[in-house]
Structures are given as structure tokens and as C-alpha cells.
């Protein structure tokens, strides 16, 4: 996955523009055709060379994960901002889960494509992305300082895998629950540090 801290190359405006062009072209193509484009077709639609595409992503599937990651980063920032403004942490967490699910449903074909990607960690699809989200949330809530330990990594993978599974079932229409109920049930399965964050977090 792309690091939160960009390298010197990633900080180059040309790199940012071409990556955004690829992401936007993929989103547009998937919306119109509901099928995965080839690298050549995607590069052409983005107005870049095939070699430029491979400077950013190893595959179209990884590019799909990047698009979803961008959506999730925005939702994460809103989550933290709302908490800092004094919003109820439970309400914010449930709303964020609901918004994540809504995003994936609106981008169903993109999500299905992303779900076939296997990261270097061995997790499939957005599982790796969800682990990254949990680690960012730990950092931004200040949980790492109070609950450091080797079990965090296992807990994060376990949580991310479960959330991914529920998202997959919900996006695929394999649940009879409404989105709000799914979000509430997901919230109740999350680790205690999310459901009951430290008093000092985000303040």
C-alpha cells in the first residue's frame, strides 16, 4: 500500500497528477463498463504511457485499492475531526462504518476488482488497507502510547479480516440487514480501544 508519508518522487506534482489521472480514469471506466480494463486501456484513458502506469501500480487491481484507500482516508480525517470537535465517539464510529459501506456499495465493481488484489502482507483486497486504517486510528487516538504490545498486530489483522468479510457480504447483497444495522453490528465487534477510546484521545 502507499505510505501516508510520500517519498521525494511521490511529492513531485507530476507524479501526483499522473496518479490522480489513473485513479480517475479507472473510476470512470469501471462506472461505465462494470468490467476491469487492461493496463493499456487504462493508461490510454488516463493519458499516460504504460510505463508511467507501472511507476505507480503493479496492476489494475492495486490501482483499484488505491481509489478505495483515497475514499477511506477522507472518511478517516472526518472521523478524527468530528471527535476533536466533541462528537460522541460511538456515533462517529458507527457513522464512519456506514459511510465506508455506502462508498463500497456505490463503487461495487471497483470493490470487487480490488478484492482480487493480494498485497505483500498476504491479505486479500482491502484487508491490507483496513489494517492500515486501524493503525492510523491507533496513532490518531493516541492508543499506541497506552496499549503498546505485540498483540496489536494480530488484533488488527483479525479485526480487518472480519470487517472485510462483512463488507464483502453486504456489497454482494448476501445480508438482509439495512446498512445502519450492519454498521452497528460491526461496531460492536470492534476492539475495545475503538468502542471506548481513552479520555485524552484527539484532544
Percent of the chain's residues with pLDDT above 90: 45
Residue pair 45/29 in contact by the 8 Å Cβ criterion: yes
CA–CA separation, 72 vs 181, rounded Å?
20
The pLDDT assigned to 75 comes to 93
What is the C-alpha separation between 13 and 40, in angstroms, rounded? Answer: 23
Would you place residue 199 in the very low, low, confident or very high pLDDT band (cuts 50, 70, 90)? low
Considering the entire predicted model, what is its pTM?
0.83
Kindly state the cell numbers that stand for 70.
483515497
Q: pLDDT tens-digit profile of 50-66?
A: 999 999 999 999 999 99
Instruction: Please name the fold of domain 59-195.
Output: Tetracycline Repressor; domain 2 (1.10.357)
Look-up: residue for cell 488505491? 66
Confidence category of residue 141, pLDDT binned at 50, 70, 90:
confident
Exposed/middle/buried for residue 122 (C-beta within 10 Å: 0-12, 13-18, 19+): exposed
Amino acid at each position: 500500500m502507499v505510505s501516508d508519508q510520500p517519498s521525494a518522487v511521490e511529492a513531485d506534482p507530476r507524479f501526483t497528477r499522473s496518479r490522480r489521472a489513473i485513479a480517475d480514469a479507472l473510476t470512470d471506466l469501471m462506472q461505465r463498463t462494470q468490467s476491469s480494463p487492461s493496463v493499456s486501456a487504462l493508461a490510454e484513458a488516463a493519458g499516460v504511457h504504460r510505463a508511467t502506469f507501472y511507476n505507480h501500480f503493479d496492476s489494475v487491481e492495486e490501482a483499484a485499492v488505491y481509489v478505495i484507500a483515497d475514499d477511506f482516508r477522507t472518511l478517516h480525517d472526518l472521523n478524527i475531526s468530528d471527535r476533536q470537535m466533541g462528537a460522541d465517539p460511538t456515533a462517529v464510529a458507527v457513522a464512519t462504518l456506514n459511510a465506508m459501506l455506502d462508498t463500497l456499495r456505490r463503487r461495487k465493481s471497483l470493490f470487487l476488482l480490488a478484492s482480487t488484489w493480494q498485497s505483500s502482507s498476504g491479505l486479500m483486497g482491502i484487508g491490507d488497507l483496513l489494517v492500515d486504517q486501524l493503525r492510523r486510528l491507533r496513532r490518531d487516538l493516541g492508543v499506541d502510547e497506552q496499549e503498546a504490545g505485540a498483540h496489536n498486530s494480530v488484533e488488527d489483522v483479525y479485526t480487518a479480516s472480519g470487517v472485510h468479510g462483512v463488507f464483502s457480504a453486504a456489497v454482494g447483497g448476501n445480508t438482509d440487514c439495512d446498512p445502519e444495522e450492519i454498521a452497528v453490528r460491526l461496531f460492536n465487534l470492534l476492539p475495545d480501544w475503538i468502542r471506548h477510546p481513552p479520555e485524552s484521545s484527539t484532544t
